[in-house]
Amino acid sequence: MNDKDFEKIEQLLQTTEFSELSQAEKELVLAQISETDYSAMRELYVHVKSTNPEEIIPSPLLKSKLDKALRARKTAPAIVRIQMPLYQVAAVALLFLMVGVGINYTSKTPEKIVTNTIREVKYINRPVREVRYITIQAKYVQKLQPAGEAEPQVSTADSQIIYPEIVTETNPEVIRQQEIAMTNVQRVLNGQNGSSMGSDTVLQKMMVTLY
């Protein structure tokens, strides 16, 4: 059925009963549909036209809600009115996240090495079995020859200059050497098979192990 036939038939359906159609009109109609179909379709058009469907009116509350929304849109700042599709917002957020994560991974945090020194004092109970005597070469000391006295004798054998009488506070090096020697002697004399450090708190304290 072409467009012209449709428009013509529809117009007839709205206005004319089948029995009132002209011969040409009947031929046009019967070429597309039967008389029964025409009558039924005609009834439908008439019924719909004659029926006054219930018409309703919008409630006033609806208008006031819309007016409020319009006022709110007017007062909103322009930046709030910018609308972006949700996928664009998500894409931007993801991009920022990836940049942040990338910066975090590339920056090298210096490792902090923490050392903790633990000092542990161990008391070693060990008998001293060996005594070593050490000879400390006397250094040349300043000659403090009292006035008027004869010059000291010089022993060429060991090329040491010894000033036995000059043991004063002004010669600390000589004093120290003699003290060490005396300490060693006394140790040997006091110990039976060597000396133990068990009763010697000073020596104990001297024996410190650092780990």
Binding residues for other proteins, rule: CB under 8 A, are 1, 3, 6-7, 9-10, 13, 33, 36-37, 40-41, 43-45, 47-48, 51, 53-59, 62-63, 65-67, 69-71, 73-74, 83
Least separation in angstroms between CB 88 and other proteins: 16
Least separation in angstroms between CB 89 and other proteins: 17
- Tracing tokens 């009116």 back to the chain, one arrives at 57
Pick the closer one to other proteins by CB: 48 or 136. Answer: 48
SS3 assignment, position 55: coil
Return the sign of the alpha-carbon dihedral for residues 34, 37, 41, 47.
positive
Vertex 89: Cα angle to 84 and 92 (nearest 5): 130
Give the CA count within 13 Å in the CB-facing half-sphere of 116: 2
Number of H helices, E strands in the chain: 8, 0
Least separation in angstroms between CB 37 and other proteins: 6
SS3 assignment, position 78: helix
Instruction: Say if CB 167 and CB 103 are below 8 A apart.
Output: no
Least separation in angstroms between CB 56 and other proteins: 6
Least separation in angstroms between CB 107 and other proteins: 44
Pick the closer one to other proteins by CB: 38 or 195. Answer: 38
SS3 assignment, position 160: strand
Pick the closer one to other proteins by CB: 6 or 140. Answer: 6
Pick the closer one to other proteins by CB: 71 or 176. Answer: 71
Pick the closer one to other proteins by CB: 19 or 117. Answer: 19
Query: Which of 209, 204, 211 lies closest to 127 in space, CA to CA?
Result: 204
Pick the closer one to other proteins by CB: 65 or 139. Answer: 65
Instruction: Say if CB 173 and CB 141 are below 8 A apart.
Output: yes
Least separation in angstroms between CB 70 and other proteins: 5
